[in-house]
Structure 1
Amino acid sequence: MAGRQITLDELTVGLGGAALWVRKLARAAETPDTPVELSDTIKELRRIASQLAEQSDRMAFLARVVEGDVPLAKTFDSGDPWGTAARGTDRKDFGGPALIPTQWQLGRLAQEAKWALARDATADTTTYPEAMKGVGMGWESKEAQARRRRERDAAVAREVLITTCETCDASEGQQCRTKNGRVSEKSHVGRQREAEATVDARLGYLGDNPVAVPEA
């Protein structure tokens, strides 16, 4: 990456480079130094390369969209707005307002604008920079949030085992025990809460939401 956060242009080039690399692997696998038929692997590598190339094409299109080179419809088919205009609205049938559009929504908006302009060259359209004006850039995808949640949960699980339990006196490396002395897979609430608080303070979490996103 050229900066702290990857750009769509960098994704385009990176995916294109990955596609080329995988194609070269497929070509090299045609003549291994040991007589083994790798036909299935070669076909799979070529399939992966094609998928990477398709993803690169999608990112190239999205890069043009976010730069403002592609006209976009101001609303979806349903009439619901997106981007800054979606603030304060409610798309009950679609899980809330589309403040941050998905790549597929942008593709649809671009297609709708293309159709509208074909019918009427003066049709009212917008661009991504215009529609997203005022939307903060301190944002991460659902996949990033899920990954960070998994990392946080894994860190809590490790922290629990180095936290003494005040309920059953389980010490470092020991699981909590029931009143009958049986080992439990679950920790006592107090021990769990203490471990969560320690990890959240270290990671900069506030409840379910990360306050800071270091090296994300």
Structure 2
Amino acid sequence: MTDDTYETLAETEADTAGLMAGKHITVDELATELSAIELRLRQLARAVEVPATPVELVDIIKSLRSNASSLRETGDQMGFLARIVAGDVPLVTTFPNGAPWGVAARGTDRPDYGGPAIVPTVWQLLKLASDATRPGFGETTTYPEAMDGIGIGWESKAASVRRRRERDAAVAVEVLRLPCATCDATDGQQCKTKTGWAADNAHVGRQRQAEALVDERLGYLGENPVLVPDA
């Protein structure tokens, strides 16, 4: 694929407005969208049982139905998670090892996975809900109560990784636009060694200048985003 194709795909992927009624997608909306995709896959599998041309598509049909089943499982989990975040499902206040979560975990260390977590994962929430159904397990709370005040300016790890990738890609483009004071490389040229060999990595000064320009444009402080877009 060309750079223009990747750019077009990235722009299309970023067009998420049709998935949500508000500024951010809700878990309830996610569950509904997954349900719609799952149904569409099953419909496709049924439709291609008798295609317009004689082609045996049994493997494709099995794949479509398998993917639909996986989406059904995920959609059901998201539906239950929507009930959790709405406050309909009681949750225990600590993990099995006694570590807190949500607001109660602020300021605590997290030595291992499953320890204190300000923002819990879906699997942790499902576990907290399951434990709340066990008799005598302990005090319970609800998601809105436990997370009160958390979420402003927050983004998932997946979003952080993607934005870091986008930042690094922008730096790679910017560095070739700048002249290099060390080897006199000009616009569009890679840096060179003293003997004239082209190098994949730019000289430090050129790289540092490119990073500074991109970070200022994107709103980064060093390697960290200053603000989360649309938070």
Instruction: Give CA-to-partner distance per residue, 1:54-109, whole Å, 9 cap, x none.
Output: 11111111111011100000001100000000112113133863000000000000
Q: How far, CA to CA, are the matches of 1:160 and 1:201 in structure 2?
A: 14
Letter in 2 for 1:71: P
Note the residue ranges of structure 1 that are not aligned, 5 or more in a row.
none
User: Could you tell me how far 1:212 is from its partner in structure 2?
Assistant: 2.6
Alignment-derived partner of residue 168 in structure 1: 183
In the alignment, which residue of structure 2 is the partner of 1:179?
Answer: 194
1:39 aligned onto 2:54 = no
1:74 aligns with 2:89: no
Look up the match of 1:159: 174
**Unmatched tracts of structure 2, length 5 or more:** 1-19
Alpha-carbon separation, structure 2, partners of 1:114 and 1:96: 21
CA-atom RMSD in angstroms: 1.6
Matched, 1:8 2:36: no
Number of residue pairs the alignment of both structures matches? 212
Residues 214, 85 of structure 1: CA spacing in aligned structure 2 closer, same or farther, 3 A cutoff?
Answer: closer
The aligned runs of 1:123-142 (5 Å cut-off) are: 123-142=138-157
Equivalent residue number for residue 89 of structure 1: 108
Aligned mates of 2:121, 2:103 — CA distance in 1: 14
So what's the TM-score if we normalise by structure 2? Answer: 0.87
User: Structure 1 residues 31 and 151, CA, compared in 2 at 3 Å: closer, same or farther?
Assistant: same
**1:13-36 Cα deviation digits (max 9, x unpaired):** 100011011111111111111111
Q: 2-side partners of 1:25 and 1:89: how far apart?
A: 49
For 1:53 and 1:2, locate their aligned partners in 2 and report how far apart those are by CA, in whole Å. Answer: 23
Aligned partners of 2:25, 2:206: CA distance in 1, in Å? 39
Q: Which runs of 4+ in 1 moved over 4 A?
A: none
Higher mean Cα deviation, 102-111 or 83-92?
83-92
What is the rounded CA distance, in whole Å, between the counterparts of 2:212 and 2:224 in structure 1?
A: 13
- The percent identity for this pair of structures is 63
Question: CA 1:169–1:162 in structure 2 vs 1: closer, same or farther (change >3 Å)?
Answer: same
1:17 correspondence with 2:36:
yes
Is the contact made by 2:171 and 2:211 (CA closer than 8 Å) also made in structure 1?
yes
